[in-house]
C-alpha cells in the first residue's frame, strides 16, 4: 500500500478516488484489490486498525499462544489477499476512519473528515442478532461472535467453562475455537433441528467443500468431547453479579436442564449492516429469516448508480461469497470506468450464485425460534442500553395501543440508546406484534436496520461538516 | 511484551496488543460498568464495538469501548458508574 494517509485532509487533498471501499473485511479487501489491479485508484476505509474484518480478525503482532494458528480456517486466503492490498500502489488504506454517512455523488463522511469518490463499494459486513432472555445482561453472557472476537483478537478466553447456544453456522467455529484454546465447552446447543438439511439436497451437493467443513467440525467436537445437541435453547441465564449457570430447554420449555458455567456465547445469526446504504436510498429486500439486505444485480450493483454492495450486505452468506463478490464488484467498477462492455467473468458469477444458493438453505434452516418470547420475565431487559424491561414493552403494546416498533420506541425508549437499536431492534419488532404468532412487520424490521447516522459522532464533527457544506 | 495497568487501583499485567476488555477478562475481571438506572454490572457483550455495553473509564475519560480501545502501559482503568460523568 502507499503510505497510509494520516489524515483525510492529506489523502483527499484535491483528490477524488475512483472508488471508495467501505470496510476492509474479506469482501472489501477483494474489491479493493481487484479494482486496483485493473488500474483504479482506491480508498479502502476501515474503522478498525487491521485488515481482515471480523472473519480474519487476528491478534496484534507480539501476541502469541501455541494454539493461535488453529483459530482460523484457510488463513492463507487472508495472507494472499493482504499481500495484494498491501503491495498495491493504487490503494490507500485508511484505518480508524469511522464512516457515519455517505452522500450521493459520492462523499463519504468520516469522523476524520470527508472522502470523495466516483464509486462506492459497501462492504460493511454484519452484526450479530440476539434475542433477550432472563439474565442475558449478566457479565459472562457474550454474543457468539463477541466470544470469538475476544479470542481471535486478544487470545483471551471468555471463561473456562463455556456454553455455546443459539442458532446458525457461526456456532460451529465458535465452539471449535473455544475448545482449541483450552476452554471446556460444555455443550453446543443449536435451537433448530439439523435434520432439515436433507430437504435441500441440491445446494448441498453443489457445495461439497461446505459439507466437508461440517464433517470436520463434527470430528473435532467428537475428539474434544463437545456435546452437540439440536432442538435446545438457552431460556435463562442465572447469577447474582455475573453468570453462574444457564437453563437449557426445548423451545416449548420442556426438558429443562441447568448447566453451571462461567461464560455463555449466544447468537441467533447475523444481520447485514446496511444503514449507510438505506440512508442513501438503495433498494433492499426482506429475507426469509427476517433480516433486511441490499438488492444487487449480477455485478453487485445496487439500485443507486455507482454504488455497489458485496458480502454480508447483500444477505448473510459467509466468507467465500464475500471474497467472490468483492472480486466481481472490483472488476465491474473497473470495467465501467474503462467503458468496457465486459463486466465480471461469468465463472465468478456462477460460483457466487452457487454459494448464494447454499446460504439461502442455511438461512431457511436457522430461523430464530419464535418461542423466545415465551421465556421473557416481566423484568427481563429488552433494551440493554436504556434498561427497558419486557413489562414496559408489553404495556406499550397491550395498554397504550402501540402497533409498531416506532411507537414502542417512543413510549419506552427501547432502541434509543448507544447501540441505536442494533441489539434490541429485532426483538422490539417481534414484540410490537400483539399476536405472537405473527411474524414481525417488514416495516418494523426495516426501521430497525435504518439509522441516519451509522456511527455515534461527536457534535463537533457534525458542525464541521455543516461548515463545509456552506 | 507485557504492559502494566491498574483497575480500580489494583495493579494488573496485560499483553501489548490486547484491548482494555481483553486485558481485564484475562485478569479475571468480568464487569467494569454499572448501569445508569438500575446500577447493574456490565462487561463485554458483542466484542466488536456495536453494543456499547463494555463502556469503561480509562485515564479519566469515560465511555471508552473496552472491546476496541488498546491497553497501554500505565493506563488507569476505573469502573464506570452510570454515564461516567458523576
The CA distance from B23 to the nearest CA of chain A, in Å, is: 8
Question: If pLDDT is split at 50, 70 and 90, which confidence band does A10 have?
Answer: very low
The CA distance from A104 to the nearest CA of chain B, in Å, is: 25
- Interface check for B42 against chain A (CB to CB < 8 A): the answer is yes
What pLDDT, in 10s, does the model give residues A349-399?
Answer: 999 999 999 999 888 899 999 999 999 999 999 999 999 999 999 999 999
With an 8 Å Cβ cutoff, are B47 and A384 in contact? no
pLDDT for res A470: 74
Mean pLDDT of chain B: 96
- Interface check for A408 against chain B (CB to CB < 8 A): the answer is no
- Interface check for B48 against chain A (CB to CB < 8 A): the answer is yes
Question: If pLDDT is split at 50, 70 and 90, which confidence band does B43 have?
Answer: very high
The CA distance from A147 to the nearest CA of chain B, in Å, is: 7
pLDDT for res A452: 76
SS3 at position A168: coil
Please report the ipTM that was assigned to this predicted complex.
0.98
pLDDT for res B72: 97
Nearest to A100 by CA among A468, A461, A470: A461
Cis peptide before A23 (omega within 30 of 0): no
- Interface check for B76 against chain A (CB to CB < 8 A): the answer is no
pLDDT for res A196: 67
Alpha carbon distance A133, A268 (integer Å): 12
Q: What is the mean pLDDT of residues B7-17?
A: 97
Contact list, B30 vs chain A (CB under 8 Å): 139-140, 242
pLDDT for res A180: 95
Domain boundaries, chain B: 2-81
pLDDT for res A459: 80
CA distances from A287 to A341, A351, A404 (A): 32, 21, 20
- Interface check for A242 against chain B (CB to CB < 8 A): the answer is yes
Neighbouring CB atoms inside 10 A of A206's CB total: 13
Mean pLDDT of chain A: 92
Is there a contact between A153 and A61 (Cβ–Cβ < 8 Å)? no
Between A13 and A266, where is the model more confident?
Answer: A266
The CA distance from B42 to the nearest CA of chain A, in Å, is: 5
- Sequence-ordered list of residues with C-beta below 8 angstroms from that of B31, at least 6 positions apart, any chain: A139, A241, A242, B41, B42, B43, B79
- Interface check for A141 against chain B (CB to CB < 8 A): the answer is yes
pLDDT for res A5: 42
Between A99 and A5, where is the model more confident?
Answer: A99
Contact list, A146 vs chain B (CB under 8 Å): 44-48, 67
The CA distance from B40 to the nearest CA of chain A, in Å, is: 8
Contact list, B70 vs chain A (CB under 8 Å): 49, 60
- Interface check for B24 against chain A (CB to CB < 8 A): the answer is no
What pLDDT, in 10s, does the model give residues A39-90?
Answer: 999 999 999 999 999 999 999 988 989 999 889 888 999 999 999 999 999 9
| Pair type for strands B80-81 and B33-34 | parallel
Question: If pLDDT is split at 50, 70 and 90, which confidence band does A457 have?
Answer: confident
Residue A344 has pLDDT above 70, yes or no: yes
pLDDT for res A463: 83
Residue A271 has pLDDT above 70, yes or no: yes
- Please say whether the structural domain B2-81 has been given the CATH code 3.10.20.440: yes
Contact list, A418 vs chain B (CB under 8 Å): 51-52, 55
Residue A167 has pLDDT above 50, yes or no: yes
Residue B64 has pLDDT above 60, yes or no: yes
pLDDT for res A440: 92
Alpha carbon distance B79, A3 (integer Å): 38
Alpha carbon distance A467, A282 (integer Å): 27
With an 8 Å Cβ cutoff, are B18 and A60 in contact? yes
The pTM (predicted TM-score) of the whole model is: 0.94
pLDDT for res B50: 93
Alpha carbon distance B63, B33 (integer Å): 10
Maximum mean pLDDT: which of A6-20, A211-225, A308-322:
A308-322
Residue A12 has pLDDT above 70, yes or no: no
SS3 at position A328: helix
Q: What is the mean pLDDT of residues A299-321?
A: 97
Question: If pLDDT is split at 50, 70 and 90, which confidence band does A339 have?
Answer: confident
Contact list, A150 vs chain B (CB under 8 Å): 21-22, 25, 44, 47, 67
Nearest to A73 by CA among A168, A270, A212, A230: A212
pLDDT for res A134: 98
With an 8 Å Cβ cutoff, are B1 and A62 in contact? yes
Question: If pLDDT is split at 50, 70 and 90, which confidence band does A1 have?
Answer: very low
pLDDT for res A330: 97
Q: What is the mean pLDDT of residues A113-140?
A: 97
Q: What is the mean pLDDT of residues A232-242?
A: 97
Alpha carbon distance A198, B26 (integer Å): 42
The percentage of residues in chain B with a pLDDT greater than 90, rounded to a whole number, is 93
pLDDT for res A153: 97
| Range list of β-strands (E), A183-286 | 184-190, 228-230, 233-238, 245-249, 257-260, 263-268, 270-272, 284-286
What pLDDT, in 10s, does the model give residues A401-435?
Answer: 999 999 999 999 999 999 999 999 999 999 999 99
Q: What is the mean pLDDT of residues B32-43?
A: 97
Lowest mean pLDDT among A2-11, A135-144, A333-342: A2-11
Residue A323 has pLDDT above 80, yes or no: yes
Contact list, A59 vs chain B (CB under 8 Å): 17
Amino acid at each position: 500500500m502507499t503510505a497510509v494517509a494520516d489524515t483525510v485532509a492529506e489523502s483527499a487533498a484535491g483528490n477524488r478516488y475512483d472508488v471508495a471501499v467501505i470496510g476492509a473485511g474479506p469482501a472489501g479487501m477483494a474489491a479493493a484489490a481487484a479494482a486496483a489491479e485493473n488500474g483504479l485508484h482506491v480508498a479502502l476505509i476501515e474503522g478498525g486498525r487491521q485488515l481482515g474484518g471480523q472473519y480474519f480478525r487476528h491478534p496484534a503482532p507480539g501476541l502469541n499462544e501455541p494454539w493461535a494458528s488453529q483459530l482460523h480456517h484457510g488463513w492463507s486466503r487472508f495472507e494472499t489477499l493482504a499481500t495484494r492490498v498491501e503491495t498495491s500502489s493504487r490503494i490507500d488504506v485508511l484505518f480508524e476512519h469511522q464512516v457515519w454517512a455517505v452522500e450521493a455523488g459520492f462523499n463519504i463522511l468520516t469522523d476524520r473528515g470527508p472522502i470523495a469518490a466516483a464509486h462506492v463499494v459497501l462492504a460493511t459486513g454484519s452484526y450479530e442478532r440476539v434475542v433477550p432472555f432472563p439474565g442475558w445482561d449478566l457479565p459472562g453472557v457474550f454474543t457468539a461472535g463477541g466470544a470469538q472476537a475476544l479470542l481471535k483478537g486478544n487470545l483471551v478466553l471468555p471463561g473456562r467453562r463455556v456454553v455455546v447456544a443459539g442458532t446458525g453456522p457461526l456456532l460451529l467455529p465458535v465452539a471449535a475455537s473455544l475448545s482449541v484454546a483450552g476452554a471446556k465447552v460444555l455443550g453446543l446447543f443449536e435451537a433448530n433441528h439439523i435434520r432439515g438439511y436433507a430437504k435441500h439436497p441440491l445446494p448441498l451437493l453443489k457445495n461439497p467443500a461446505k459439507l466437508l467443513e461440517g464433517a470436520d467440525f463434527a470430528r473435532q467436537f467428537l475428539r474434544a468431547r463437545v456435546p452437540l445437541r439440536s432442538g435446545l435453547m438457552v431460556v435463562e441465564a442465572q447469577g447474582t453479579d455475573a453468570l453462574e449457570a444457564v437453563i437449557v430447554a426445548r423451545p416449548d420449555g420442556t426438558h429443562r436442564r441447568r448447566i453451571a458455567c462461567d461464560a455463555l456465547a449466544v447468537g441467533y445469526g447475523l444481520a447485514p449492516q446496511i444503514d449507510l446504504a438505506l440512508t442513501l436510498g438503495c433498494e433492499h429486500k426482506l429475507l426469509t429469516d427476517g433480516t433486511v439486505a441490499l438488492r444487487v444485480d449480477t455485478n453487485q450493483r445496487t439500485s443507486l448508480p455507482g454504488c455497489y454492495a458485496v458480502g454480508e450486505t447483500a444477505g448473510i452468506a459467509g466468507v467465500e461469497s464475500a471474497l467472490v463478490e468483492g472480486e466481481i464488484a472490483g472488476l465491474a467498477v473497473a470495467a465501467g470506468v474503462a467503458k468496457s462492455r465486459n463486466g465480471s467473468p461469468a465463472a465468478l458469477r456462477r460460483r457466487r450464485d452457487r454459494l448464494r444458493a447454499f446460504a439461502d438453505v442455511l438461512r431457511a434452516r436457522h430461523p430464530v425460534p419464535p418461542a423466545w418470547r415465551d421465556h421473557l420475565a416481566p423484568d427481563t431487559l429488552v433494551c440493554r442500553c436504556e434498561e427497558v424491561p419486557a413489562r414496559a414493552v408489553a404495556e406499550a403494546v397491550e395498554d397504550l395501543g402501540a402497533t409498531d416498533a416506532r411507537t414502542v420506541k417512543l413510549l419506552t425508549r427501547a432502541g434509543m440508546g448507544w447501540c441505536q437499536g442494533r441489539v434490541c431492534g429485532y426483538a422490539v419488532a417481534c414484540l410490537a406484534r400483539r399476536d405472537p404468532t405473527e411474524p414481525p412487520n417488514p416495516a418494523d424490521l426495516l426501521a430497525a436496520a435504518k439509522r441516519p447516522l451509522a456511527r455515534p459522532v461527536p457534535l463537533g464533527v457534525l458542525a464541521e461538516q455543516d461548515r463545509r457544506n456552506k | 511484551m507485557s504492559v502494566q495497568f491498574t483497575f480500580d487501583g489494583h495493579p494488573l499485567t496485560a499483553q501489548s496488543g490486547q484491548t482494555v476488555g481483553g486485558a481485564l477478562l484475562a485478569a479475571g475481571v468480568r464487569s467494569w460498568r454499572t448501569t445508569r438506572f438500575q446500577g447493574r454490572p456490565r462487561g463485554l457483550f458483542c466484542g466488536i464495538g456495536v453494543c456499547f455495553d463494555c463502556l469503561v473509564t480509562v485515564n479519566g475519560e469515560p465511555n471508552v469501548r473496552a472491546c476496541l480501545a488498546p491497553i497501554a502501559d500505565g493506563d488507569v482503568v476505573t469502573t464506570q458508574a452510570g454515564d461516567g460523568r458523576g
